[in-house]
Amino acid sequence: MNRKLELASGAVLASLMLGVGAASAEEIRLMCSSDGNECEAAMEIIQRFEADNPDVKVVMDKVPYKAILENLPVQLAAGTGPDIAKVTDLGGLNEYYLDLAPYVDRDYWETSFGDTLNWYRSGPDDDGIYGLHSQLTITGPYINKTLFEQAGVEIPAADADWDTWADAARQVAEATQTPFPMAMDRSGHRIAGPAISYGAKLFDENGDPILVDDAFTEYVNKFVGWHNDGTMARDVWGASGGTSYQDAAQEFINGELVYYFSGSWQVQRMDSSIGDAFDWEVVGSPCGAAGCSGMPGGAGFVGFKDTKHPETVAKLIDYLAQEDNYAELTAKSLNIPAHSGVAAKGVTYIDASQKANDALNAWGAQVAKILPVAFKYQGYKNNRAMFNITLARVSQAIVGELSVEDAMDRAKEDLATALAEAGK
């Protein structure tokens, strides 16, 4: 009996000690969502951080993208958010961000990440360091090169405009009996690049958002026209409603689409899903009167000020931001680097095929073509409101619920309401 009692006491004591041990470790919760393998690639680096810091335990919660967009802001407002998250609403969540500046080498961050730091700030007066831009993306098109070759249609030049591309895509689709000449992801962010190329200013002289101007309306008119004449796949913008996101990647992968306007984050998916089925290529954004701009964007790791471990959170994000780690993360997740040092040295995408390497280099070359207004739009904290308004109203124009003019008038009213509410 005494022996049993001793054993039981020993077990209780051991479990208590383990409990104390566990309680003394700092647990950092990281909410992550990714199109490809970025969360896994980050975790590999984080495991090294854990090895260097045995008292830190990082728990990664992999969630669907929708949870980052819809659940995270509510969690943060209620004070129940994670310590770190990978976010895409970069400036929109600024009020919850932990300023890393007191814990990191400001000069290193300013030199390495430059303009992308502004995307996480609340405005021009804010000089805080909030986010590590881990995934720099650019919107733009992919083409099915094999279909062009089969149709005997010449691929338009780098400075070709949207009309030229639309003509070429239509010819290819007709010649090869491909169901869809063109498609664009159903996203307010995606349509912004082409509108900017057409001269859309999006902001007035005072820097206040206006969204709709003549150039914006001109592009929307063309875009709606292409849906009506069958150039653009109606299944993407025309079949969904509300703010739901819809892409056409599967149609492109299936060889059912000639020209697909999406972005650099699709490279990994294209590479792994298409394989040798056909040749695909990244071509530059079509040109308009103002330029040939895509939209920059992407995602980044941010810490939240409600965390109980601000120093550890900053230390972990800073660890990921170090040049070697950042280069590894970029190479493994097939992303374009936002780190100037990594970009200058060039990234060797070890696990990627030649096709993916070419595509990533082609995307990298597009960065220089991005117009300043596109950077400004990406950094504007209420840009998601503008994206959603564009999405809802342009969709209504496409399905014929509203004329383009009425849709644009409604978009202006929606923006006024949204800004008034956000600014109250």
Partner 1 sequence: MIRIVSFFMDLIDIPMRHAQRYLRGHSIAWVFLFPNLVLFGLFAFLPILLNVAYAFTGTDNIMLWDRTYVAGENFAALTACSNYLDANSCELDLFWRSVHNTLLFIVLQVGIMVGVSLVTALILNRRIRARGFFRSVFFFPVLLSPVVVALIWKWILQRNGLMNAGLEQLGLERVVWMLDRNWAFAWSVFLSVWAHMGFYTLILLAGLQAIPRDVYDAATMDAAKPFRTFYRITLPLLMPTMLVVMVLALIKGVQTFDEVYAFTGGGPGSATTLIIQYIYETGFAGAPRLFGLASAASIILALVLAALTFLQLKFTRRNADG
Residue from the set 4, 5, 23, 242 that interacts with partner 1 by CB under 8 A? 242
178 counts as binding partner 1 under rule CB under 8 A: no
DSSP 231: S
Residue from the set 26, 40, 50, 89 that interacts with partner 1 by CB under 8 A? 89
Residue from the set 116, 384, 408, 415 that interacts with partner 1 by CB under 8 A? 384
Name the segment binding partner 1 (CB under 8 A); options: 56-64, 156-164, 216-224, 401-409. Answer: 401-409
340 counts as binding partner 1 under rule CB under 8 A: no
246 counts as binding partner 1 under rule CB under 8 A: yes
Helices (H), 346-423: 354-366, 372-379, 383-399, 404-423
123 counts as binding partner 1 under rule CB under 8 A: no
Nearest distance in Å: CB 364, partner 1: 30
> Parallel, antiparallel, or unpaired for β 296-303 and 84-87?
antiparallel
Total length of the chain:
424
Q: What element of type H or E holds 148? A: helix 145-151
Rg over alpha carbons for the chain, rounded to the nearest Å, is 24
Q: How far, in Å, CA of 241 to CA of 77, rounded? A: 27
In the block, residue with structure tokens 């129940």? 80
Residue from the set 7, 12, 22, 422 that interacts with partner 1 by CB under 8 A? 422
Nearest distance in Å: CB 119, partner 1: 16
40 counts as binding partner 1 under rule CB under 8 A: no
At 232, the amino acid letter reads M
Q: What element of type H or E holds 27? A: strand 26-32
398 counts as binding partner 1 under rule CB under 8 A: yes
306 counts as binding partner 1 under rule CB under 8 A: no
77 counts as binding partner 1 under rule CB under 8 A: yes
DSSP letters spanning 114-160? TTHHHHTSSSTT-----EEEEEEEEEEEEEEHHHHHHHTPPPPPTT-
67 counts as binding partner 1 under rule CB under 8 A: no
Residue from the set 146, 319, 382, 412 that interacts with partner 1 by CB under 8 A? 382
Q: Contact at 8 Å (CB) between 415 and 209?
A: yes
Both tokens of 303, joined, read 């810490």
Complex with partner 1: residue 280 or 387, whichever CB lies closer? 387
Residue from the set 137, 144, 217, 395 that interacts with partner 1 by CB under 8 A? 395
Q: Which residues pair with 259 in a beta bridge?
A: 143, 182
Q: Contact at 8 Å (CB) between 201 and 213?
A: yes
Name the segment binding partner 1 (CB under 8 A); options: 7-15, 68-76, 99-107, 338-346. Answer: 68-76
416 counts as binding partner 1 under rule CB under 8 A: no
241 counts as binding partner 1 under rule CB under 8 A: yes
Complex with partner 1: residue 52 or 413, whichever CB lies closer? 413
Question: How many residues lie near partner 1 (CB under 8 A)?
Answer: 40
Residue from the set 26, 67, 73, 203 that interacts with partner 1 by CB under 8 A? 73
> Parallel, antiparallel, or unpaired for β 180-184 and 280-282?
unpaired
Name the segment binding partner 1 (CB under 8 A); options: 51-59, 192-200, 273-281, 415-423. Answer: 415-423
Residue from the set 5, 78, 350, 368 that interacts with partner 1 by CB under 8 A? 78
Nearest distance in Å: CB 244, partner 1: 4
Q: Contact at 8 Å (CB) between 261 and 248?
A: no
Q: Contact at 8 Å (CB) between 104 and 314?
A: yes
Nearest distance in Å: CB 420, partner 1: 8
Site for partner 1 in 210-239 (CB under 8 A): 234-235, 238-239
Nearest distance in Å: CB 421, partner 1: 5
> Which of 59, 66, 63, 25 has the alpha carbon at shortest distance from 43?
59
Residue from the set 67, 69, 101, 210 that interacts with partner 1 by CB under 8 A? 69
175 in helix, strand or coil? Answer: helix
Q: How far apart are the first and last CA of the chain?
A: 71
> Which of 126, 207, 131 has the alpha carbon at shortest distance from 377?
207
- Taking each helix axis as running N to C, give the angle between helix 214-228 and helix 383-399, from 0 to 180 degrees, rounded to the nearest 10: 40
Summarize as ranges the residues that interact with partner 1 (CB under 8 A): 69-70, 73-74, 77-78, 89, 92, 179, 234-235, 238-244, 246, 382, 384-385, 387-388, 392, 395-396, 398-402, 406, 410, 413, 417-418, 421-422, 424
